[in-house]
Amino acid sequence: MGACPPLGALSVEIKIKYRKSIAIIECRYYIESGKYRHSIICFWGMFFRRTGVFFMKKKIVFRNYGYRECDSFARFLEKMAAKGWFFRGWRFGMIFEKEAPRKEIYDVEVFPEGDENDVKPEPNTKEYAQYCREAGWELIDSTRKLCVFRKIREDALPIVTERERYENIREAEWKAFRGRLAFTCLMAVSEWYVLFNIDFARNIFSDIWIAVFILWNLYFLKNAARCVSYLLWKTRTEKMLGQGKTPFYGSRVKEISPWKTIQKIISCVVFLGIIAIVLFLADSGTMQMYLVFIVGMILMMVLLPALRPSREWNMLLQVIFAFLIIFIGFSALMVNMAEDSPAAKENTQVIENTYGTGELELTDELEGIFGSARRYSVLLPDGYPRTDDPYDENEIICQVYQSSYQWILDRIYSLYTKEEGEIPPDAEAWEAIETEQNRNKNYTTVKYGDRLLYIIGKKNLDKEEILFIRQALGL
């Protein structure tokens, strides 16, 4: 607890408290007479279970309930009302206002004709609300397909039957994530295919690509686990209804179910992983593009709930936001590429050894936790000094892969030699474990213990040229 001297006509008092693993920071402002005027309170809890901001007689609670948590949501609102905080609707979070504590009964229902793009009651929702009002329930607010009602008559009738309620929740839950599940599944399969087939020899040595691969598969596993959870819930709930029991939608024990907590942890890991990747790319031209994407998505998630446009405008604004984010992001990337490469960087060295004089140019390099991949352009002694001929057969491409993981080199070797080949002439000069050349004799693969060499170019290399390459590349 601390205080500061008056700031003009105001003084400020800051209090920090800890209650059950929750940090509460309160900042109070006093006018000159010493009368309490205003306070802003922020509090944080483990795994985002309790997060919010207070503004005098209003506060925002950042909590998200799913369709299968309707009863937990209603119970939470009733507990808040008993403490004097009454739900007024959604903006950027849930808005509560302070009044005298009293008992309120809430009901949270899924409106089947709602839409995932709804951020406020649409005309058909208002029509539904009028029907519910006649049954004794007042609509407070709605978002997506969730509608929050307050009981206004003692003889209020149930809005829907238990079977109808279950069908509404089941259908809304399935539609809410089936598209995301299908998309993440497709992307995960394609990522695995790309990793072990297309350009495996490059991607496996890129820490950025590996990080994206892990994060994307983690996100897919989250959605797959949600699908399994949904199927188990569906089976259990249908069994209860068949026995004439009334299901409770949500967790009876905790306000936030353990599964919801796990989901949030995974989402946070994915988000922090993306931020880490962007920071890792801080020196590259792609950093600004990723930053634009992240900032744009955050702005869209903040502004749309705050503005609460109609369903049609919401969809249109999402398209416009997406277009602007992509346009600005790729524009930033192109500008950086133009600035970073006004001319090709000189990275060529003249190689002189006992087998002649040539040139070695490093054209690409990747190094990560699994090893390294380097691409060289080698000008053989017969072609030195360099001429203007772009098709000089004395210039070859050498790709050198180095890794302490034997399965990686074996995989690269199998990819490069999957077509039937033959042993090239003077193969013994390589002093390698395995050497193979394709039928057209323009690709040669040479495998050592912890390194692999892939040559693109001249049909047949003689012994002198092989020894020159080995010395130039340190093989």
Q: Give residue-wise pLDDT tens across range 302-359.
A: 777 777 777 778 778 778 877 776 776 666 556 555 554 444 445 677 777 777 777 8
Kindly state the percentage of the chain with pLDDT values over 70: 73
What is the spatial distance between Cα 236 and Cα 234, in angstroms, rounded to a whole number?
6
Question: How far separated are the first and last CA of the chain, in Å rounded?
Answer: 67
151, part of any domain:
no
In a domain, residue 122? The reply is no
Question: Do 80 and 45 meet the contact criterion of CB atoms below 8 Å apart?
Answer: no
Say if residues 90 and 271 touch (Cβ distance below 8 Å): no
CA 204 – CA 372 distance, rounded (Å)? 9
Cβ atoms of 403 and 371 within 8 Å: the answer is yes
Instruction: Name the band, by pLDDT with cuts 50, 70 and 90, for residue 32.
Output: very low
User: 94 with 61: CB under 8 angstroms?
Assistant: yes
User: Is residue 124 scored above 80 in pLDDT?
Assistant: yes
Asked if the structure places residue 208 within a domain, the reply is no
- DSSP-assigned states of every residue in 287-314: HHHHHHHHHHHHHHHHHHHHH---HHHH
- Matching residue, tokens 């007024």: 88
> SS3 for 341?
coil
Contact yes or no for 39/13 (Cβ under 8 A) = no
Which has the closest alpha carbon to 454: 197, 202, 193? 202
Distance, CA of 401 to CA of 280 (rounded, Å): 23
pLDDT score of 51 = 47
Question: Residue 217: CB partners within 8 Å, gap ≥ 6?
Answer: 188, 191
Distance of CA 200 to the CA centre of its chain: 23
State the residue range of the domain holding 385.
348-473
How many domains is the chain partitioned into structurally? 1
Residue 451 inside a domain? The answer is yes
In a domain, 397, yes or no: yes
Q: In this structure, what CATH number is given to the domain that contains residue 467?
A: 3.40.1000
Residue 205 contacts by C-beta under 8 Å, 6 or more apart in sequence?
Answer: 366, 367, 368, 370, 371, 372, 373, 401, 403
Whether residue 5 lies inside any domain: the answer is no
Pairing of β 434-437 and β 443-447: antiparallel
Residue 442 in domain: yes
Q: CB count, 10 Å around CB of 32?
A: 10
Residue 374, in any domain of the structure: yes
> pLDDT: is 204 or 267 the higher one?
204
